[in-house]
Structure formats: C-alpha cells, structure tokens
Amino acid sequence: MSAPLTRIAAAEDGVPAARPGSGRTGRWLRRAGRHRVALTLAFLLILPWIAPYQALAVTILVLGLYALGFNLLFGYTGLLSFGHAAFLGGGAYGCGIAIVRYGLHPVLALVAGTLLATLIAAAMGVLAIRTRGIYFAMTTLALSMCVYYGFYQAESFTGGENGLRGINVPSLTLPGLRLSLLDPIVKYYAVLAVVGLAVWLFSRLLSSPFGAALEAIRENESRAQACGYDVRRMKLVAFVLSGALCGLAGALQAIHLSIVPIETMHYSTSGQAVMMALLGGMGTFFGPFVGAATFALLQDGLATLTSHWQLFVGAIFIAFVLFLPLGIWGEVLARLRRAGW
Amino acid sequence: MSGITIGGFPLDLIGLQLVTGIALGAIYVLVGIGLSLIFGLMNVVNFAHGAFFMVGAYVGVFLYGYTGSFWVSLVAAPLAMGLLGLAVERVLVRPLYGRGIDDPLLLTFGLSYVMVESVRIAFGLTGLPFGAPPELRGAVDIGIGYFPLYRLFLIAFSLAVVGALWLFIERTPFGLVIRAGARDPQIVQVLGIEIAKVWLAVFALGCALAGLAGILAAPLQGVTPEMGIPVLAEAFVVTVVGGMGSLAGAVLAGLIVGIVVAMTSLVAPDMTKMAIFALMALVLLVRPRGLLGRAGALG
Amino acid sequence: MVSAAPLAVPAAPPILAAQGLGKRFGHFRALSGVTVDFSEGGITAIIGPNGAGKSTFFNLISGAFPPSEGRVLFRGQDITGRPPHHFARMGIAKSFQITNLFPHLSVRENVRVAAQARRVRFAFFRDRAAYPELTERAEALLAEVGLGDRMDRLARELAHGEQRALEIAVALAAEPTLLLLDEPTAGMSPEETRDMMDLVQRLAETRTLILVEHKMKLVMGLCRRLVVLHQGELLAEGSPDDIRAHPEVRRVYLGTRA
C-alpha cells in the first residue's frame, strides 16, 4: 500500500531543495532557496561565457529545460517515467511541422509544439496513471515506443526515418525587434528568454498549494489520499504539466538544431532525461541544469576521444546510482546543510 | 478447404500466420517469464533484460562460428547469461536492496548501456547475419501448408522449457522456496533459508532465460547490438498485459502478443509495431491489473 | 466544530454504520457479516485478540479498501467502495497503525499540507504562503497535540511517540467529525501511552472517535462502548460493564490473556 519509495526517501540526508516548509535548513540555504529563480537565471546568463563553445551552451539550456520538466514528475511527484522522449519529440515535431509545413511564426510554432506534447502527455498519462510504482516506468516506456512508431510511420508529416529537415529560422521578427539567430550569442539569449520564463513558472508551480500536494504524494501516496487528495487526478495533472515543459524544450531544440531526428522520440532520449535528473540531483531546483551541463560536457568531451562514449556514460551512471545517489547538486546541498549553511 | 476466406484471406494462410504468431510468442514468453520471475520475487525491474537477450544471442552466434553446433550455442548462451546475471546481482544489484524501489531499475538501465556498447566494441556496429542451422532448415507440411521447420522447433523447444520451469517451480523444494518468497520474504527467512541466495539464483535464472530467448531469436532476424531495445519494451508489454509478476500471465500474454503481431502483419503490415502497444493500452483501460494479475505472484 | 451530541437523539441516524461487512483475501476470510452502528459522540473501541479482524474492519470503515460484501453508511449515506479521498472530504479522518507521515517534510508542513487538502488543491500559481490561515491552523493543531516546539524539524527526525502525535495532528487537519485511530499506542512507552490516552480523551470532547486497540485494559476506562471481534466475526458489543460481564468475551479474550 505504501507509496513507491523515491531516491529521496532512501537517501541519508536527502532533503532535496531549500523549499518553503522544509525545516532545519541554515540561513544561507534558506535565502538561496527564496531566490532560486534569480540564482538559476544568473548562472544561465553567464553560461555561454564559461561553456567550451556557444552552441553547446544552447544545448545545455534546452536539455536543462527537458530535465527540469522531467524532474517535476520524478523529483517532486516521485513518479519515474521512461517515456519523456515522446514529449520532447512531440514538442520538436509539432514546432518543426508548424514551421516547415505551415510556415508559422517561430513563437507560434513553439506554442504549437508545446500543445502537441501536452496532448500526447494527456493521452499517455490517462493510461499510465492506472499503473503504480515500478509498472509506471514500464508502461510509460512502452507507450512512448508506440508514439515513436507512430511518428516513424507518418512519413509524409514527420519525414519518417530521415527525420524532419529544413526547420530554418535564420531570424526572429518581433514587434519592433529583429534578431538574427545565426549569431550564436543572440540565439542563446533568445532561447534563454523562453527558458527563463519556464523556470519562473516552474518555481511558482513548486511553491503553490498544488506543488505542496505533489510533494505530499511523493512522500506518501496513501497518506496524501487519506488527507483528501485525489491522488490519481493530481498525478495526471503533474504528468501533463511535465510533458508540456518537456514539449517546450523539444520545440526549442527543433529550432536550435533545425532538424528533428527520429531518435528524439526514441527510448534512449527518455533515458537521457533520467540520467540528467540523477546526475544533477533529483528533486532539486537547480539540479537539472547541473545534470544537463554534466551530460552535455561528458558527451561532448568523450565523443572527441572515443566513438564508444556511451560505455563511459553508462558506467558513470552506474557509479552515481551506487555511490552518489543524491547527484552532484543534491550532494552539494546536503553537505552545505550539514555544515550548517 | 482453400475456398474458405476470412476478410479476403484464405483460411490456411490465416492458420499459417497463427502458427507464425505462436512461434514469435514463444520468444516473448521466455523473455517475459524471466522478467516476471525477477520482478515477482525481488520487486526489481531488470532494465538490462533486453541487453541480456542481445548478449545471449551474440554469445550463441559467436560460439556457433567456433563449434559449428547450434546445440552448443543453445546451452552456452543461457549458461553464460546466467553467470553474468550472478555477477551482476552479487556485485551491482545487491548493495541496493533496502534502498528505493527505483534504484535497481536505474542501475540496470545504466548497465544496459555498458552491455550494448561493449558488444559494439567487440563485434562491431552493424551486427552479424545468422540463419537457422542446417539440420533445422527447410519446411514441413503441417496440414494447412508448409511451415518453416525452425519455427516449429522454436515452439516445441520453448514449450519444453516452460514445462520444465513449471515443474521446477511447482514440484521441487527450491520452487517452493521461490513461491513462498514471492508471497513473503520473511517466511523464507523463518524456514531458515537465506533469502539473498534465492534472489541471486532467481536473478541468474531470469537472465539465463533472456539469453536463451536471444539465441533462439537469432536465426529469425540475425543479431545487432540494438536488438534488445524493442524486446525490452515488448517484454514490458507482456508483463503489463499478463499481470503483475504472474508467470502464467506472462505465458498467456506472450502468446497473445505474438499472435497479434502476426495477424496485424497480415492485415496491415505498417501497424505491426503499433498493434502491440494498442493491445497494452486496451488492457490498461479495461483491466489495469493485467489478465492474470493478483492471483498470487506465481499462481 | 460539531459539539458532542447528547447521548440519544432518537431520529438521527448513526454517524457510521457497518452492515454485514465482510472481506476475503483469496480464500482467506478475514472478516464476515459484521453489523455495528456507531452513534455520534464519545469513544468507541474495537477490541479483540490478534487476528480477530480488527485491522481489516478498520480498513473497511475507513475506506482503505472496499469490502467483499456488506455496506458502510456515513450518516445514513452509502459510502461503500468510494475512493479514500472521498472519505476524507466527507469528514472521516484516520490515523494509521504504522506511522504514516510525510517523512521529508517539516512537522509544520505535514499538517499544513493535510489542512490544505480540504481547501485548495488545484491552485497552481499562488504561493502556498498566501494562505496564512492554513499555516495558523497547522500550528494550532500542533500545539494541541504537544508538538508546538517541534514544528521546524523534519517528520522523520521525531521520536516515535512524537510521530504518533503528529500522525493525529495530520488526521485532525482534515477537520473530521469522525476520527478513526488504529492502535494509537502501538509501540509506545508507558509514559507516551498515558499522554496519548489523555490526548484521545480530549479529542473526543468535540468529535466522534472510533479506535482499534489491542490492549483492552487501556480503553475500558475511557470509552463509552466496546465492539469485540473474534475470528473475523462480531462477538459482542456494549458498555464496558456489559463486555466485562460477557461470558464469551471472558472466555476468548480475558481468559487467554489473564
């Protein structure tokens, strides 16, 4: 009957983020928690100047949003999904198709992509939420494979095996503003404007009564239900919101890469979200960006050394599960907290 | 006989396709049982199950190249995967007991990356072709037409394995321990048996079954490093459709999935992959606990 | 708050009624044909030796799982088989036998999030601090159960007895008119037990309480009525004096324990 145990419940001093209502956090961490959006944005503002190259910074930004959306479900609601590629891919295809086939304005295309991902999430969620615990991971994986094959088959719309090509957005025209996205720095800050908005909304969501209820569900599902929460409905809403955020990330990725490879929807992309959330620290606000940066840098660095970088990514991931289950940022927070910060 | 048609397809063609589905289902049954066995007893979802399937196939194909005997492969592949399973449980999974239920799942997920990439390093990216061994090639008349001998062998062999497994679990003392352990690990402790040893053995057994399924599937499609990925997803479908941790459910669902795939490829070949998941969606809507779920983990 | 009802209002339906309740787990009959009315106000204890079906009965009347047969009525309304969160919203709260809290949330947040459940659920944008009445209510309840100085600790850091008290505060946060407690003193030291029983008595001044208790002696003094289960069936019910004098109860319960 007990709720699926999460990594947080298993960890030694696993108080995840500094968040309202969690006790015994030192003064500095509490203060940082109150300004988590500002601090995150400050980091993202300087990221292109510390990243090895600027296109990688955009990748980190987009992957960070993807991991952030995933973390809403995994870290804050306690549901482990292995199907989030369907949302990243849904957002990417939705945005790409809107631009390539219908010539929509990029901003509207972002909306279209997010909407498509939201719809996919709703359809998958209605089914997946009927299973609990470990079966949820299995069901979401299987359902996302179904979406993958669907998009694979719908060749006239999605380009099938070859992916969707030609999503060229050289510039962005807004009222009174014209930005050239060919300049990587301009592109980065344009993407950051969207990601920053999403980060702010995400923070509001976590602080809201709904966010509190999600944490309660993560901590103890049957208790939350006995308190009067309709746990199933709340999980579904969390699933859909998580899908929408990942869809937005996918839409941004489509514009960033100007192509949507079919692999975007593949199981391994779902696994990437899991890896980033775990590397960074699940259930922490800033962890997804740390995880995304770690993953992107690892991939980028290893790929120049060996074509078999996945071997090392897998081994590093295993090491994290065994020895550093809180993830990088989660471990940092736990140590600072123990030190009385 | 040949004059009768259903939906435009002659009856004997449908019959042949049905047998094809059962042969395909036999693979799903073996993979699904391994997954269900580990899950039912240990509450661990082995995300490397598809990778064990794949490595088993490679081991078998590799040994076939050396020995020229399919029978050696048929014994060696599950044996090798069983040993690998022993090592994995002992070294990697065991430290995670008592932690969150997601931890072994995440670990085996990472492990699948390592296994797939190791095979790519050892055998290359493109995979190896593999056909049925000479003694199992050709076709036999099964009354409604000629049917590939290898697929008949596949059905018979899987049936024998499932039967042996059933006898093992229902009729031997060790099987009794497995059944008791699936209901309540503490009972096993009370009986004076170390549950850790039972888990070790069952994890190895599940992996061995995956490896066996891999080498049995190899002649149907050849082997590639990625062959385990769709199998993992399909094995999940089998366990969800069959019911949580139910072995009988895995058998039933494995056959149903195989038949659904075969029938869809007859009617709408493009929809074959989708059909598997549509089946799962249907079961989740109508009977979320699965066809034979809840009737005791191994009942 | 509903005030304690006078002892016998003739026309009012019982606050909770079990009608022929039974539960099977596979072939095992955990409970069969139990019919009991619980009237408003005071404390009713459900007692019985181990394996009598107390916990099963508790789980059925608190909606944790549906019965195999029979009905549960709340103020005359059939609530059989409704999901657990409906029970909570109708004013039925429960505490669990095993400590069942939100371990990584602060003590205050444990109660606040429970209080929130009946007021705001789907509010996505306002800060939870924008509902000060919920925090105030949580703090008042924590003071009531004696955890006023523990509010900033994490629930998992509390001592066992404190966790049991928090458990009750979480249950009370849902503003119940009917409070169901499953062995509230399980695993407690004698002092903790005494404190808990005092608390239970205070709570019953303004609410109806039904509690499952293993230790018969403990409840004899404070409850108005007792329901005795034995081997999954109703053995007896009545006032503490009735139960003490009941020959069957003496045989199966007191006899084996004394």
Q: What is the DSSP code string of A220-260?
A: -HHHHHHHT--HHHHHHHHHHHHHHHHHHHHHHHHHHHSEE
For residues C51 and B72, the model is more confident at B72
Mean pLDDT of B70-95: 95
Put simply, the answer to whether B280 touches A7 (Cβ < 8 Å) is no
Distance separating alpha carbons of residues B194 and B177, to the nearest angstrom: 10
B239/A contact by beta carbon, under 8 A? yes
Put simply, the answer to whether B121 touches A7 (Cβ < 8 Å) is no
Q: What is the DSSP letter of C53?
A: S
Put simply, the answer to whether B106 touches A9 (Cβ < 8 Å) is no
C128/A contact by beta carbon, under 8 A? yes
B281/A contact by beta carbon, under 8 A? yes
The pLDDT of residue B295 is above 50: no
pLDDT at residue number C96:
80
Reported as a pLDDT band with limits 50, 70 and 90, residue C255 is low
For residues A163 and C64, the model is more confident at A163
Domain count, chain B: 1
pLDDT at residue number A3:
33
Distance separating alpha carbons of residues B112 and A310, to the nearest angstrom: 10
Candidate from A196-200, B41-45, C4-8 with smallest mean pLDDT? C4-8
Q: Which of A36, A32, A26 is nearest to A286 (CA)?
A: A36
Candidate from A81-85, B26-30, B52-56, C254-258 with smallest mean pLDDT? C254-258
Contacts of A213 in chain C (CB under 8 A): 113, 116-117, 121
Contacts of A322 in chain B (CB under 8 A): 92, 95-96, 107
Distance separating alpha carbons of residues B10 and C121, to the nearest angstrom: 58
Size of interface A-B (CB pairs under 8 A): 128
DSSP H or E stretch at residue A171: strand A171-174
In the block, residue with structure tokens 């296994």: B115
Same domain? For C79 and C98 the reply is no
The pLDDT of residue B132 is above 90: no
Q: Tell me the average pLDDT of chain C.
A: 85
pLDDT at residue number C224:
86
Same domain? For C106 and C166 the reply is yes
Scanning every residue of chain B, which has its alpha carbon at the shortest distance from the alpha carbon of A2? B101
DSSP H or E stretch at residue B42: helix B11-42
The pLDDT of residue B59 is above 90: yes
Reported as a pLDDT band with limits 50, 70 and 90, residue C196 is confident
Contacts of C106 in chain A (CB under 8 A): 21-24
Contacts of B45 in chain A (CB under 8 A): 134, 137-138
- Taking only the tens place, the pLDDT of each residue in B10-27 is 888 888 889 999 999 999
Considering only CB atoms, C131 lies closest to which of A209, A213, A237, namely A209
Distance separating alpha carbons of residues C147 and C160, to the nearest angstrom: 13
What ipTM was reported for this prediction? 0.89
The pLDDT of residue B57 is above 80: yes
The dihedral region occupied by C34, where left means phi > 0, alpha psi between -120 and 50, and beta the remainder, is beta
Cβ within 8 Å of A, B 206-225: none
DSSP β-bridge partners for residue C73: C17, C78
Q: Is residue B297 part of a domain?
A: no
- Taking only the tens place, the pLDDT of each residue in A184-212 is 999 999 999 999 999 999 999 999 999 99
Q: Which of C122, C158, C119, C153 is nearest to C136 (CA)?
A: C119
Same domain? For C96 and C79 the reply is no
Could you tell me the residue range of the domain that residue C33 belongs to? 15-83+191-197+205-257
Task: Provide the shortest C-alpha distance from residue A199 to chain C (in Å).
Answer: 13
Reported as a pLDDT band with limits 50, 70 and 90, residue B142 is confident
Put simply, the answer to whether A137 touches B102 (Cβ < 8 Å) is yes
Contacts of A216 in chain C (CB under 8 A): 102, 105, 113-114
Put simply, the answer to whether C121 touches A23 (Cβ < 8 Å) is no
Q: B241-275 burial, b if ≥16 CB within 10 A, otherwise e?
A: bbbbbbbbbbbbbbbbbbbbbbbbbbeeeeebbbb
Could you give the C-alpha distances from C142 to A186, A222, B79, C200, in angstroms and in order? 53, 22, 60, 14
Query: What pTM does this model have?
Result: 0.89
pLDDT at residue number A10:
29
Contacts of C126 in chain A (CB under 8 A): 208-209
pLDDT at residue number B254:
94
Same domain? For C70 and C26 the reply is yes
Mean pLDDT of C21-37: 87
Candidate from B97-101, B190-194, C180-184 with smallest mean pLDDT? B190-194
Q: Is residue B148 part of a domain?
A: no
B277/A contact by beta carbon, under 8 A? yes
Domain count, chain C: 2
A160/B contact by beta carbon, under 8 A? no
pLDDT at residue number C30:
87
The pLDDT of residue B193 is above 60: yes
Same domain? For C76 and C112 the reply is no
Put simply, the answer to whether A135 touches B244 (Cβ < 8 Å) is yes
Domain of residue C19, CATH code: 3.40.50.300
Task: Provide the shortest C-alpha distance from residue B172 to chain A (in Å).
Answer: 30
Put simply, the answer to whether C154 touches A211 (Cβ < 8 Å) is no
The pLDDT of residue B298 is above 60: no
Touching subunits of A (3+ CB pairs, under 8 Å) are: B, C
Could you say which residues of chain A have pLDDT below 50? 1-23
Task: Provide the shortest C-alpha distance from residue C169 to chain A (in Å).
Answer: 11
Candidate from B58-72, B113-127, C38-52 with smallest mean pLDDT? C38-52
Contacts of B239 in chain A (CB under 8 A): 138
The pLDDT of residue C8 is above 70: no
Mean pLDDT of C163-188: 89
Task: Provide the shortest C-alpha distance from residue B76 to chain A (in Å).
Answer: 25
- Taking only the tens place, the pLDDT of each residue in C82-131 is 988 888 889 999 888 777 899 989 999 999 999 999 887 788 888 888 89
Contacts of A311 in chain B (CB under 8 A): 113-114, 117-118, 121
Q: Is residue B299 part of a domain?
A: no
Domain of residue B157, CATH code: 1.10.3470
Q: How many Cα atoms within 13 Å fall on the side-chain side of residue C205?
A: 6
pLDDT at residue number A19:
39
Q: Tell me the average pLDDT of chain B.
A: 88
Q: Is residue B44 part of a domain?
A: yes
Candidate from A314-323, C22-31, C164-173 with smallest mean pLDDT? C22-31
Put simply, the answer to whether A321 touches B110 (Cβ < 8 Å) is yes
Put simply, the answer to whether B240 touches A313 (Cβ < 8 Å) is no
Put simply, the answer to whether B240 touches A317 (Cβ < 8 Å) is no
- Taking only the tens place, the pLDDT of each residue in C198-216 is 888 888 888 899 999 887 7
Put simply, the answer to whether B237 touches A142 (Cβ < 8 Å) is yes
Put simply, the answer to whether C122 touches A210 (Cβ < 8 Å) is yes
DSSP β-bridge partners for residue A180: A171
C244/A contact by beta carbon, under 8 A? no
Distance separating alpha carbons of residues B119 and B224, to the nearest angstrom: 9
Distance separating alpha carbons of residues B60 and B130, to the nearest angstrom: 10
Distance separating alpha carbons of residues B182 and B199, to the nearest angstrom: 10
- Taking only the tens place, the pLDDT of each residue in B156-176 is 999 999 999 999 988 988 888
How far the first Cα of chain C sits from its last, in Å, is 41
pLDDT at residue number B119:
96
Could you tell me the residue range of the domain that residue B18 belongs to? 8-142+153-282
Residue ranges per structural domain of chain A: 50-267
Scanning every residue of chain C, which has its alpha carbon at the shortest distance from the alpha carbon of A283? C104
Put simply, the answer to whether C85 touches A237 (Cβ < 8 Å) is no
pLDDT at residue number C7:
52
Contacts of A210 in chain C (CB under 8 A): 121-124
